[in-house]
Chains A and B, each alone.
Chain A
Amino acid sequence: MRLVPIPEEKYDEYRLGAIFDCYKWDPQFKDNNTVAKYALVLTKEEYDELVFLTESMDKETIAAEEYLNANLDKAKPLGLARRLKKDIESMSNYDKTKHVRLMRYDFHPTVDGKWAVSEVNSDVPGGFAEASLLPKLAKEIIGLDDTYSVKCFGDILANAIKSKTKANGTIMMVHCTCFSDDRQVMQYIGDKLANMGFKIIYGAADHIVFKDNEPYSILSGNECKLDGIVRFNPLEWVTRIKPKKWGGYFSTETMSCNHPIALFAQTKRFPLVWDNLEKAGISMKYWRELLPDTKLIKDFKKLEDKSGYIYKPVYGRVGEKIGIKEACEEGEFDKILKEVKWHPKRYLAQKQFISKPLEGIDGKEYHVCVGSYTVDGKQAGFYARVSNVPRIDSNAADIPVLIEGSVN
């Protein structure tokens, strides 16, 4: 894979296009421009390899969550919140043919010449428009011909939702309505679905009530029965809303993307159930190969014994609070160490892989994370980010992914 620069004289045009044509409404984070000045080009071989690995891991994840859903006692090592016990039990009616299962696996090239996976975003993976529109824009601006392909994630997701939702039905895009960066994700896919004839309502998690397991919108001026739910509000936030009226999310049979079955693989404690899964005949071969060794904090006698390991929050997102010393900001690593010491159950230790950066024409090193989506078990596109440090967090820049060769 390689970095291909956006021509300098066209970069302003590209950035404006990213904002207004590609729903990139958050082009700045602190002092960092989050629209990369490059595109990432994968070779056909790398693409084929990523598709194979992604779908292989996904097959294992889906088998795992279905097994755990049917055998909740085996899910104990996940440490799921006790207050969710009844709701998790109500998922016994989960039928994957009624819902759309969306995940994103985050791949990193390493100095060993192999890929490492840092996590699966099982619950609410973002980057929808960046994975769909930004590559087309970049290809046009750079002037690449059709020997380079783009895989449009949005088309695949929208078609999957359409296939499981009543024609011209009403879908609520559930998200944190205060956050414009959540709205941008929902707006992109919402506009797509609207063009397919669906009625789209943008609302919050508590704008839905459930009657007989069916969802209804109570948002003012938009009261109606819903035919689908597309959720970008993390489950661990939904389940903290008071008063508790959100239980219906777990037992509804109305198309949901994602259904709360996603919570089994969302926790970073997921590796702690692999022994149970393998005893039940479910292979976790690809997960074991690609995810670095993961341990509970209590399994180390002293924090100092953790050389070669990094700290990760059990329910972290967007790289926040990941304790990689050389990637942390001033004072941050010491803060994380303190938190790990005081709240060890909120963290895990994971063996650190050594990221292999790419070099830009500016001579700088760029660490890459290639997020690889699956929709109902099939690889569905890429959302990639680059950073000058070996931790991909909110400071990272979004970089479009193009493939040399055909992807059909």
Chain B
Amino acid sequence: MIGKEIYKIWAPKSKWQGWVRPVLFVGLDMDNVKDEYFSRNLDEILYKEHINKETAFIIDLPGAESVKEGLSLAKLGVRPITIYNGPDEQLGATANVDNSPLELAVLWGADILKDISFDEDAPPAFLFDSTRMNLIRKDRTVYDNSWYVYEQDMPSAKYLLDNGIKRVILVSDNEKIRKDTNKLLYTYKTKGLEILHTDGFKEPVKAKIKKTKKEID
């Protein structure tokens, strides 16, 4: 069972270990992983001067790009924590979210990650897949495996603050913060965390977070 072995590499013992979601790794043992190309070059982190023990990251990029950004940060001492929580589709069905690029990327990435060691107080980078909210379903016959990041999938603001984190930098490919991430960051902001936002190229700036409705629609 390869899923367990790969999970152990991505979720070694640490104060953030509990939040590594197992679903994607379970998916590695199912028959749905399609061989797809993705570039295996790791890009330079352009915001690296913002890396310090008081800063956590949320990486909200599509599929394999999210994994790669996490690995680039790992090489700079930031511990990647995968928050990929989307189930695989029924075999043979058309689905609105394709987990294959992500599954291939964590499989490949494990080979890089296993040789990196982290300080005990290494800050975390929480990896989201921005294709998770692909809600477009052409008709009922499509398997809907879209998913949201809920507050219960992430550490509380208190946990972050108690562990020395004072700010969260969101790295996303969208100027507008996605609904679920906005709700999470709004809570973090109201509890005293500083929230910054970058697209990975521009200097991180104060994030534009909207006051949220009670529940995600």
Report which B residues bind A (CB closer than 8 A). Answer: 1, 3-4, 7-8, 13, 18-19, 21-23, 25-26, 85-87, 89-94, 140-148, 151-152, 155-156, 158-159
Contacts and interface: CB of A to CB of B under 8 A. Distances in A.
Interface stretch (A27-35, A141-149, A232-240, A288-296): A27-35
B141 A28 contact: no
Contacts of A94: none
Contact of B3 (A20, A177, A221): A20
A207 B142 CA distance: 9
Contact of A30 (B13, B90, B145, B152): B152
Contact of A180 (B7, B23, B91): B23
B141 A30 contact: no
Contacts of B23: 25, 180, 183
A354 interface: no
Interface in A1-34: 12, 16, 19-20, 25, 27-31, 33
A408 interface: no
Contacts of B89: 177
A151 B38 CA distance: 47
Contacts, number: 87
Given A178-B145, A222-B92, A29 B152 contact: yes
B90 A178 contact: no
Contacts of A53: none
B87 A207 contact: no
Contacts of A183: 23, 87
Given A31-B159, A219-B141, A220-B142, A180 B87 contact: yes
A27 B18 contact: yes
Contacts of B18: 27-28, 33
A221 B159 contact: no
Nearest to B13: A12
A133 interface: no
15 contacts: A12-B13, A20-B7, A20-B25, A28-B19, A177-B87, A177-B89, A178-B86, A183-B87, A201-B90, A203-B90, A203-B93, A206-B140, A218-B141, A222-B90, A222-B93
